[in-house]
Structure 1
Amino acid sequence: MPPRRIPTVRQRRLGSELRRLREAVGVTTHEAATLLGVNRTRIPNIESGRFGLSADRVRALASNYGCQDAVLIDALANMAADRGPRWWDSYRGVLPTSFQDVAEFEHHAVAMRIFVMVHIPGLLQTAAHARAVFEASLVALPAKEIELRATHRMRRQEIFTLRESPPHFTAIVHEAALRMQFGGPEVGRAQLAHLLDASERDNITLRALPFSAGGFAGPGQPICYAHGPVAQLDTVQLDTFHGALFLDSQEDLGSYKRLLDRMEEAALSPGATRDLIHSIAKQL
């Protein structure tokens, strides 16, 4: 199997978890390769996500590292076994890599909690709003690419409609994002109506952080905390100027979980949030 040119975020995560298991028991990469019966360069390439491996080999590595957590081992084996092509693969080489990484990240999340300051969460945007956001990009984009990006964003929302068990999605949206008029008043009203409809779904919780809440902790950048099938596979995704950034250290996970907890404590209840959205829509 040739090495991957650009591993996906999920492939890199599998590798990093295997590295954590190895390092936790003080096994070197050379020792790990000997135990697995492979070339000494294979383990570093597996841990970087550049080389794939079967579910059986994941289990063999976990056994070699003395891991007794059957639930974690099953989750890692499932990550290795999940090799089928997905819809976002058709966008590779067409849109930035981070677009595919975010789609893959969301597809496998069990639940997500997100905070946004300026933009409506992509998973809750209308197509018209998404196009307006991309049209406002710092670097002017061709009309064809704007449409591709908007279509990709709409397909991401299929996790709510096509998945057998849709993820629970909690969105903490600052009032500033609710008042931003990307695309003008008509697009803005339609977007707010879409949010109200989405907030009625059983698996979506929408809570506004009003201006009246005052200041809050954190840098104000979009944050998404995604729960994996086991707690060890939770991941934080940050939106940055250079694309999506993924964090998975226990320290980072704990910090962002506490930050989102504080934001949620300051946010309006779902009912009060809907009242605020109705009020803003009447002002457009």
Structure 2
Amino acid sequence: MTQDIELGTPALCRLQLGAELRRLRGEAALKSSQVAKRLLWSPSKLTRLEYGDNVIAEPEDVAMLCDVYKADAETRSLLIDYATVTKTKQNRWTSIGERPAVRPAIHAFVGLEASAAVVRTYQSDYVPGLLQTEAYARAIHQTASRSYSSEEIEVRVAARVARQAVLHRAEAPLELFVILSETVLRRRAGDSTVTREQLEHLADLATMRNVQVQVMPFGAGFHLGMNGPFAIFRFARTSLSRPIVYLENLAAGWVVTDDGIVDSYEHTFSELRALAPGPQESRNMIHQAIKEV
């Protein structure tokens, strides 16, 4: 069994690797027993890989599965990268020349986000990535990602903007529930134009049927969100993936899979929703912040 709280980089890669392996096997129309027999594996070995129950995924095993499923070169390379990260616990390569601009853990996070049915998130300092404008995302990366070149930042910004397609897909768009600290509305991002455009964008998206935004005002006093930002991912029943909580700070990210802990975050989010003003009043707060920029 995997640990209940793990470093985000290897955990995200392991979970997305499992999801991708299940998808490839389905597209190849193969039963797990057929694959295991072909590779002379025990059936449980393949099951553990597909459900992300092995803390370490061997790159050689993933390469063999890609051969069986006739995966294309790009998919094969990414899945082997996922496996390498689970084994080395590092989301980096030995030289700048080998380092991908969008690293495997980011690909994994985006993949899990894209397969989620519902995301609930509390943010205390910035607008969540799914609701960011391009200029706002660039301002964040320029401040927080000083080890990256301008070219790498542009690739990461483009990837962040591309993620937002999950909110607009024709079938089963992602349901996104967001609670923001009022600090997010008051914090300047870049110049006043960037800040104003971001707040206007936030107000527009908050009118979508599948997006709900609430703002926790300063006047609410102390609340459970002060323990730190978090995101809860719940997946469609057909995805076979358990719900997860994702936590992140400057040092690292963590993935939580324990049902009891996930439930406690769900309870926390419900309490925050009850405490914060409703969507309409929250939109009024956003419009007031726009006027004050």
TM-score (norm 1): 0.71
Counterparts of 1:251-266 in structure 2, within 5 Å, are 251-266=260-275
Change beyond 3 A, Cα 1:153–1:40 = closer
Partner of 1:249: 258
* Alpha-carbon distance between aligned partners in 2 of 1:164 and 1:151, rounded to the nearest angstrom: 23
Offset at 1:140?
Answer: 4.4
Structure 2 equivalent of residue 273 of structure 1: 282
Q: Which is worse superposed, 159-168 or 113-122? A: 159-168
Letter in 2 for 1:277: I
1:120 is matched with which residue: 118, 124, 127?
A: 127
**Which residue is 1:181 aligned to?**
188
SS in 1 for 2:116: coil
CA distance in 2, matches of 1:14, 1:233: 15
When the two chains are superposed, the root-mean-square deviation of aligned CA atoms in Å is 3.4
Structure 1 stretch 109-118 or stretch 221-230: which is displaced more? Answer: 221-230
141, 146, 149: which one aligns with 2:156: 149
Contact 1:228 1:235 in 2 (8 A): no
Counterpart secondary structure, 1:136: helix
Give 1:163 shift. 5.0
8 Å Cα contact 2:137-2:160 kept in structure 1? yes
Asked if structure 1 preserves the Cα contact closer than 8 Å seen for 2:117 and 2:174, the reply is yes
Indicate the residue corresponding to 1:10 in structure 2: 16
Residue identity in the other structure for 1:119? Y
Structure-2 separation of matches of 1:202 and 1:229:
19
Distance 2:188 2:160 in 1: 19
Question: How many Å separate the matches in 1 of 2:276 and 2:161?
Answer: 27
Check conservation: 1:114, 1:171, Cα contact below 8 A.
yes
Runs of 5+ consecutive residues of structure 2 not aligned to the other structure? 1-9, 22-35, 64-68, 82-98
Q: Which stretch has the larger CA shift, 150-159 or 235-244?
A: 235-244
Distance 1:170 1:160, change over 3 A: same
Report the TM-score when normalising by structure 2.
0.69
**Residues 259 and 238 of structure 1: CA distance in aligned 2, closer, same or farther (over 3 Å):** same
Q: Say if 1:225 and 1:257, in contact at 8 Å, map to a contact too.
A: yes
Percent of residue pairs identical:
23
Give the aligned residue type for 1:9.
L
CA gap of 1:99–1:185, structure 2 versus 1, over 3 A, is same
Give the corresponding residue for 1:213: 220
Distance 1:256 1:212 in 2: 23
Structure 2 partner of 1:222: 229
In the aligned structure 2, how far is the partner of 1:255 from the partner of 1:13?
25
Residue 245 (structure 1) shift = 2.2
AA aligned to 2:140 is V
Match of 1:61 in 2: none
Shift of 1:203: 0.5
Deviates more, 1:97-106 or 1:271-280: 97-106
Inter-CA distance 165–13: structure 2 relative to 1 (3 Å threshold): closer
Q: Can you list the C-alpha shifts for 1:130-179, whole angstroms capped at 9, x where unaligned?
A: 00001111634321111111101001101112352101111101100111
- Once the two structures are superposed, what CA deviation does each residue of 1:238-260 show, in whole Å capped at 9, x if it has no partner? 12324442211112211111111
Pairs aligned (count): 233
